[in-house]
């Protein structure tokens, strides 16, 4: 019979007797029997035998080692009673390590998955299986940094056998007899109520940093250690260790933001509960020697099978946050050292997380990545030989990321100001928020949402004939802005598919093929075709018949078919090719205003086969040949060619260098400008503009907002910080996750992310209300995989030649990828790097050893990270 059945039987017996029960406690004994305690006021006046008969009927065969059947008054003086939880959940080493050997992870949730903030203080345990790795030093520096950030920090020296924190923090001489953790625990075990403030030492030169010492080491201190028995406490109802933490949280003269616990090295009775019960965050410090791998893996798996000790809404199984501090690694940054002491531990940690991440993927949760929960500290002699932590800012920087791990779980002090308006407006804003998705060709409100950055203004200049950019950076947005907002001063020579409008003379891929065949069998060239094509476009509305070359007069130039026919006639017409240039020059001279000649859609306008891509190259080289012949002599007709950057690099034509300095590259290199893209669309919502943070700028164009205004509006929309990830701020998280392998960014995928996030938030809000921001940060995490799939689909559509490589990457299923695994696709590697799909991860000399995939495409490829930093 198990514990649950015993409890159910006792409860049934008491109900049958018509009594009420206050508490039923059942725990297994070390020797195979059971310890039972039942507390009920109805026992008053009943003999021990009567109590047993009423409670234990039907349990005669049960082996019991200890039974207490008590009234409420009797329970007060009866001494320790058995604890009320399943023995398998005990936060002690044997039970916890046993959980690590199970085949399944108990939970897919970690603390950073929660939308709600945990209450202050955040409890962090620093632990190491082996000594000499700088655990206490890391805690002390972390405490100093947090205190410098004006956080109230309490450090607790739980290394009772080798106390060191007061020494490191410079207050060892202040420790008094009968002061510290040992005396607190003994007092709490005896049922007294100590004054916690009397055991607290302020740290010199800080108003925010305090330490609770283990005690003053002496013979008497050593004797007291024998009374510290966590294994017994966790099998009893009264637990001094939990009382200690509650007292530090609630019974100090101030409210701490952070409690840092320094746990004893190795598998000790006390270190188990500090990790498996009391910790919100567990910082595991280790040196990456193979001897440490197995033990640290068991510890990590045990923590992932541990339910966090603090209460969580809906009583969900949430594991503590796991962090790794690899210390102290050699100072050399040679490739061999990096491979052994940085990449190897990252790969280990990714292996330890693999089962968890498989489950998280099934629940549509983002993977926990090793590089986001791991930090490296290099050996420093001045740290290793110092008696206490110093004030050297260079050393502080080494431990800054550890402090950042902890600090991001502390609720920000600015959030109550944001909450007030958000709570009132949230539903209205969610109803109104709309973010444009798809390509620039598909966005109906592109013009009003157009964000004019300095880079965009360069692209719009009439003095810049060539605008280059990677896929999705906004080339077609420039085309639409000029063709729609400046229609009187622009002529569409060639347009992307979907933007042809009524221009029936524009060529399709089949049309370009026919032109290529005419060029093959005549003396015409592609530059001649482009002159005709430009002349046809300009001449639709801007030319009188007497300006036409003789052989074109009376010809129908309104359809693709007739344009191709006329081009073929050019070969036999007197001065046919020469007359085309003269025709354009005459039209240029007749113009009163400057006119853009808009040429876009060349990336996909020819088709995607190898033959069609070669035709595209030759045609575009001809286009620039026409520009060389015409463009520099034209005064009013101004070329504006919008071209994908990788195509430009493949072109070979005379005097290509003449365009250097006369072209611009569209890129989103400024994070603030990038963030303006969704904010400008959010400002279409009248409810969003009513938020008090936005009142000062609601009448100002987003294009003109300062960086501070952008950041404040961004926080209102989606919050300031991402919990758990290595990148603290949501804006940095978005910036990093949406970067391709060349660190380029596309507004298209940023808007796609927000479009998906709004849909997700509307659904999630029905299940769990969230008042801090209009979109909770978790929505971005949940929606990134969908955006990644869209981005990957766009690559497949535009670069179909990469399909074999993409299929191989999906089959491999993890990044980084060994170069040898991609040997069969060697001819595609250059293009994959060019378009931002692959980046070099590891080199040896001039040899590339491994490649990596950016998050923008990794999720779409269903790839996991294996030690990728």
Q: What is the DSSP string of 656-705?
A: GGGGTTSEEEE----HHHHHHHHHHHHTT-HHHHTSGGGTTTTTS-GGG-
**What is the predicted pLDDT for the residue at 727?**
44
- CB contact at 8 A, 34 and 64: yes
**What is the predicted pLDDT for the residue at 237?**
72
Q: Are residues 33 and 137 in the same domain?
A: no
Q: Which residue has the tokens 């008969």?
A: 53
Q: Is 556 contained in some domain?
A: yes
Q: Which residue has the tokens 């009264």?
A: 238
Q: Is 760 contained in some domain?
A: no
Structural tokens at position 801: 């030649």
Q: Are residues 31 and 159 in the same domain?
A: no
| Torsion angle (degrees, nearest 10) of CA 168, 173, 178, 182 | 10
- CB contact at 8 A, 716 and 697: no
- CATH value at residue 247: 3.40.50.300
Partners of 28 in the beta sheet? 34
Coil, helix or strand for 193?
Answer: coil
Q: Is 781 contained in some domain?
A: no
Backbone φ/ψ region at 312: left (φ over 0), alpha (ψ -120 to 50), beta = beta
Alpha helices in 486-609 (DSSP H): 509-521, 526-542, 560-570, 576-590
* Contacts with 699 (C-beta within 8 Å, 6 or more apart), sequence order: none
- Give the whole-angstrom CA distance, residue 832 versus residue 434: 33
**What is the predicted pLDDT for the residue at 555?**
86
Which strand ranges, in their side-by-side order, compose the sheet holding 847-852?
817-818, 847-852, 839-844
Q: How many angstroms from the chain centroid is the CA of residue 60?
A: 58
Backbone φ/ψ region at 66: left (φ over 0), alpha (ψ -120 to 50), beta = beta
Show the low-confidence residues of the chain (pLDDT under 70): 29-32, 78-80, 82-88, 100-107, 313-315, 412-419, 438-448, 541-546, 631, 723-728, 866-869
Q: Is 179 contained in some domain?
A: yes
Q: Are residues 157 and 290 in the same domain?
A: yes
- CATH value at residue 46: 3.30.300
Count of domains for the chain = 5
- Phi, psi (deg, nearest 5) at residue 190: -85, 0
- Give the whole-angstrom CA distance, residue 39 versus residue 42: 9
Pairing of strands 34-39, 23-28: antiparallel
- Give the whole-angstrom CA distance, residue 567 versus residue 575: 13
Q: Is 356 contained in some domain?
A: yes
> How many CB atoms sit inside 10 A of residue 423's CB?
13
Coil, helix or strand for 318?
Answer: strand
> Which H/E stretch holds residue 199?
none
- Give the whole-angstrom CA distance, residue 858 versus residue 850: 15
**What is the predicted pLDDT for the residue at 83?**
62
**What is the predicted pLDDT for the residue at 376?**
93
DSSP secondary structure string for all residues of 471-514: TTSSHHHHHHHHHHHTGGGEEEEE--TT--TT-TTS--HHHHHH
Q: Are residues 435 and 402 in the same domain?
A: no
* Contacts with 537 (C-beta within 8 Å, 6 or more apart), sequence order: 491, 492, 493, 503, 505, 597
- Give the whole-angstrom CA distance, residue 760 versus residue 384: 50
- CB contact at 8 A, 260 and 209: no
Q: Are residues 253 and 395 in the same domain?
A: yes
Q: What is the largest CA-CA distance in the chain?
A: 126
**What is the predicted pLDDT for the residue at 546?**
65
Q: Are residues 259 and 346 in the same domain?
A: yes
**What is the predicted pLDDT for the residue at 445?**
63
- Phi, psi (deg, nearest 5) at residue 844: -130, 105
Structural tokens at position 723: 């919990």
- Give the whole-angstrom CA distance, residue 144 versus residue 326: 20
- CB contact at 8 A, 270 and 264: yes
Residue 210: exposure state from Cβ atoms within 10 A (0-12, 13-18, ≥19): buried
Last residue of a domain, one of 666, 698, 732: 666
- Give the domain range for residue 118: 109-407
Backbone φ/ψ region at 821: left (φ over 0), alpha (ψ -120 to 50), beta = alpha
pLDDT digit string (tens) for 523-581?
999 999 999 999 999 988 665 566 788 888 888 888 999 999 999 999 888 888 889 99
Backbone φ/ψ region at 491: left (φ over 0), alpha (ψ -120 to 50), beta = beta
Q: Are residues 276 and 331 in the same domain?
A: yes
Structural tokens at position 382: 């001045």
- Give the whole-angstrom CA distance, residue 461 versus residue 92: 70
Q: Are residues 514 and 651 in the same domain?
A: yes
Q: Is 421 contained in some domain?
A: no
- Give the whole-angstrom CA distance, residue 351 versus residue 353: 5
Cis check: omega of the bond before 740, within 30 degrees of 0: no
Q: Are residues 482 and 557 in the same domain?
A: yes
Q: Are residues 173 and 237 in the same domain?
A: yes
Q: Are residues 264 and 350 in the same domain?
A: yes
Q: Is 131 contained in some domain?
A: yes
Pairing of strands 839-844, 847-852: antiparallel
pLDDT digit string (tens) for 792-836?
999 998 888 999 999 999 999 888 899 999 999 999 999 999 899
> Which H/E stretch holds residue 289?
none
Q: Are residues 639 and 676 in the same domain?
A: no
Q: Is 792 contained in some domain?
A: no
């Amino acid at each position: 019979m198990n514990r649950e059945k015993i409890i159910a039987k006792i409860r049934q017996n008491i109900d049958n007797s018509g009594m009420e029960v206050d508490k039923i406690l059942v725990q297994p004994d070390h020797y195979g029997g059971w310890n039972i305690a039942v507390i009920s006021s109805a026992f008053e006046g009943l003999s021990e035998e009567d109590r047993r008969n009423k409670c234990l009927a039907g349990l005669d065969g049960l082996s019991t080692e200890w039974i207490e059947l008590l009234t409420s008054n009797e329970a007060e003086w009866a001494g320790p009673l058995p604890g009320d939880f399943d023995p398998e959940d005990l936060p002690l080493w044997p039970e916890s390590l046993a959980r690590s050997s199970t085949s399944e992870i108990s939970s897919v949730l970690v603390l950073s998955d929660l939308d709600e903030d945990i209450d202050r203080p955040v409890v962090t345990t620093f632990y190491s299986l082996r000594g000499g790795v700088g655990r206490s030093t890391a805690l002390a520096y972390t405490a100093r940094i947090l205190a410098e950030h004006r956080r109230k920090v309490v450090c607790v020296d739980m290394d009772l056998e080798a106390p060191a924190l007061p020494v490191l923090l410079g207050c060892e001489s202040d420790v008094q007899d009968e002061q510290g953790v040992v005396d607190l625990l003994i007092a709490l075990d005896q049922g007294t109520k100590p004054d916690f403030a009397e055991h607290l030492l302020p740290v010199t030169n800080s108003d925010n940093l305090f330490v609770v010492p283990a005690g003053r080491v002496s013979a008497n201190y050593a004797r007291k250690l024998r009374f510290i028995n966590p294994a017994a406490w966790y099998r009893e109802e009264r637990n001094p260790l939990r009382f200690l933490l509650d007292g530090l949280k609630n019974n100090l003269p101030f409210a701490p933001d952070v409690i840092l616990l320094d746990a004893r090295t190795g598998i000790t009775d006390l270190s188990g509960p500090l990790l498996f019960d009391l910790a919100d965050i567990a910082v595991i410090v280790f040196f990456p020697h193979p001897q440490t791998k197995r033990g640290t893996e068991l510890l990590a798996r045990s923590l992932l099978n541990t339910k966090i000790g603090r209460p969580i809404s809906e009583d969900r199984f949430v594991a503590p946050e796991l962090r790794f501090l690899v210390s102290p690694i050699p100072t050399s940054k040679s490739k061999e050292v990096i491979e052994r002491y940085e990449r190897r531990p990252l790969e280990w940690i990714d292996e330890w997380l693999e089962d968890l991440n498989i489950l998280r993927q099934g629940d549509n949760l983002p993977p926990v990545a090793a590089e986001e929960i791991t930090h490296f500290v290099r050996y420093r002699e001045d740290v290793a030989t110092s008696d206490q932590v110093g004030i050297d800012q260079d050393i502080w920087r080494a431990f800054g990321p550890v402090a950042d791990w902890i600090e991001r779980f502390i609720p920000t002090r600015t959030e109550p100001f944001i909450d007030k308006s958000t709570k009132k407006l949230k539903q209205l804003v969610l109803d109104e928020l709309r973010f444009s998705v798809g390509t620039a060709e598909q966005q109906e409100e592109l013009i009003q949402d157009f964000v004019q950055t300095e880079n965009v203004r360069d692209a719009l200049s009439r003095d810049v004939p060539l605008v280059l950019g990677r896929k999705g950076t906004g080339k077609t947005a420039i085309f639409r802005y000029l063709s729609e907002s400046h229609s009187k001063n622009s002529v569409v020579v060639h347009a992307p598919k979907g933007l042809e409008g009524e221009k029936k003379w524009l060529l399709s891929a089949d049309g370009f093929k026919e032109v290529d065949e005419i060029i093959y069998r005549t003396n015409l060239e592609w530059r001649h075709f482009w002159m005709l094509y430009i002349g046809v476009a300009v001449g639709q509305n801007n030319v009188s018949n007497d300006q036409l070359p003789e052989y074109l007069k009376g010809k129908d130039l309104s359809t693709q078919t007739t344009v191709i026919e006329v081009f073929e006639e050019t070969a036999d017409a007197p001065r046919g090719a020469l007359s085309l240039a003269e025709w354009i020059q005459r039209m240029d001279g007749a113009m009163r205003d400057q006119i853009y000649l808009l040429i876009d859609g060349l990336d996909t306008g020819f088709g995607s086969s190898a033959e069609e891509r070669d035709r595209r190259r030759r045609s575009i080289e001809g286009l620039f040949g026409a520009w060389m012949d015409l463009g520099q002599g034209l005064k009013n007709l101004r070329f504006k060619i919008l071209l994908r950057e990788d195509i430009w690099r493949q072109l070979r034509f005379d005097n290509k260098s003449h365009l250097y300095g006369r072209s611009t590259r569209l890129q989103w290199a400024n994070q603030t400008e990038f963030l303006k893209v969704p904010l400008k669309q959010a400002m279409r919502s009248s409810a969003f503009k009513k938020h008090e943070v936005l009142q000062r700028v609601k009448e100002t164009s987003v294009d003109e907002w300062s960086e501070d205004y952008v950041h404040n509006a961004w926080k209102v929309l989606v919050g300031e910080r991402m919990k758990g990830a290595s990148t603290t701020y949501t804006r940095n998280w978005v910036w990093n996750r949406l970067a391709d392998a060349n660190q380029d960014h596309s507004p298209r995928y940023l808007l796609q992310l927000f479009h998906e996030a709004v849909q997700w938030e509307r659904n999630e809000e029905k299940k769990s209300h969230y008042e801090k921001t209009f979109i909770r940060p978790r929505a971005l995490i949940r929606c990134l995989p969908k955006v990644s799939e869209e981005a990957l689909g766009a690559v497949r559509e535009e670069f179909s030649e990469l399909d074999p490589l993409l299929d191989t990457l999906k089959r491999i299923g993890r990044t980084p990828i060994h170069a040898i695994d991609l040997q069969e696709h060697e001819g595609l590697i250059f293009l994959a790097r060019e378009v931002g799909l692959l980046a070099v991860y590891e080199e040896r000399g001039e040899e590339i050893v491994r490649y990596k995939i950016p998050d923008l495409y990794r999720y779409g490829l269903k790839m996991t990270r294996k030690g990728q930093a």
